[in-house]
Amino acid sequence: MDKAFDPAVPDGRNASLDSAISPDGRPATGETYHVPARCGVAVALTPGQSLVIVNTHGTQVCDFWAFNADDLDEHLSMEHLHTQLGSIYPRPGDPLVSNRRRALLSFEADTSPGVHDTVIASCDHHRYQQLGCSEYHDNCTDNLRMALIAIGRKAPAIPAPFNIWMNTPVAADGSVAWLPTVAKPGDEVVLRAEIPCLAAMSACPQDLMPINGESCLPQELHFRVED
């Protein structure tokens, strides 16, 4: 008999398990932190703090999630965001809402051209098997799981991510294209916490399609937290 599925258990492992910025994910305000290529990092935010995510090389997609720090069953929800905004493209000034339809964060600023994705699920072990990988491949789903484990928490589910800088335009006929980012090195997205949050970022390890640039080379990201 197959054992019960546990959404918190990764299918493999990588350096995300050792990526914690502190035991509970609390940052030093103003310090710049590193999200290694192909890995994930979680950070704890208090209301009013801003998370600045930096596309260091300009080509890297960041899969992003946020959870209510006091109740991880409440999480950033792309489905509910679409209803809230009447759009699949959030813009600065927009609330980023949870599955309980309240703002977890606010989209405060964006120095990039504003091309992001809220439609595509995070890559996972099964996706890479479909793409022909016979061995384990780093993936954003496991990066989320491990980033939370690294700060002593467990993912109760794997919500659809806010794919920052991911360029997957939806055509009028409903088809999706998989294109390189249009960000430039140093572009920043700023998200302000409205409630106590746990945010997780994955430097997407996709190297079989050109979403992380024509070279298909995953790169590092950086972030900082500001009061």
What would the DSSP string read from start to end of 89-144?
Answer: ---TT-EEEBTTSSEEEEEEEE-S----BSSSPPP-HHHHHHTT--S----HHHHH
Whether residue 182 contacts residue 174, with contact meaning beta carbons closer than 8 Å, is answered with no
Contacts for 129 with CB less than 8 Å, ≥ 6 apart: none
Q: What is the CB neighbour count within 10 angstroms for residue 70?
A: 10
pLDDT score, position 184 = 97
pTM over 0.85: yes
Residues paired with residue 146 on neighbouring β-strands, in sequence order:
none
Amino acid present at 162: F
Structure tokens that stand for 98 in this block: 């949870």
Whether residue 164 contacts residue 35, with contact meaning beta carbons closer than 8 Å, is answered with no
Question: Tens-of-pLDDT digits for all 227 residues of the chain?
Answer: 456 789 999 999 999 999 999 999 999 999 999 999 999 999 999 999 999 999 999 999 999 999 999 999 999 999 999 999 999 999 999 999 999 999 999 999 999 999 999 999 999 999 999 999 999 999 999 999 999 999 999 999 999 999 999 999 999 999 999 999 999 999 999 999 999 999 999 999 999 999 999 999 999 999 999 99
Residues paired with residue 31 on neighbouring β-strands, in sequence order:
none
Give alpha helix (H) positions in the chain.
78-85, 125-130, 140-150
What count of residues does the chain have?
Answer: 227
Whether residue 211 contacts residue 219, with contact meaning beta carbons closer than 8 Å, is answered with no
Whether residue 95 contacts residue 192, with contact meaning beta carbons closer than 8 Å, is answered with no
pLDDT score, position 4 = 78
Whole-angstrom CA distances from 105 to 46, 50, 96, 97, 169 are: 11, 9, 5, 7, 24
> Is the four-CA dihedral 186, 191, 193, 196 of positive or negative sign?
negative
pLDDT score, position 2 = 56
- Residue 195 CA to residue 193 CA, distance in Å, equals 6
pLDDT score, position 1 = 45
* Residue of 182, 142, 137 lying closest to 158 (CA atoms): 142
pLDDT score, position 94 = 98
* Residue of 64, 51, 33, 47 lying closest to 200 (CA atoms): 64
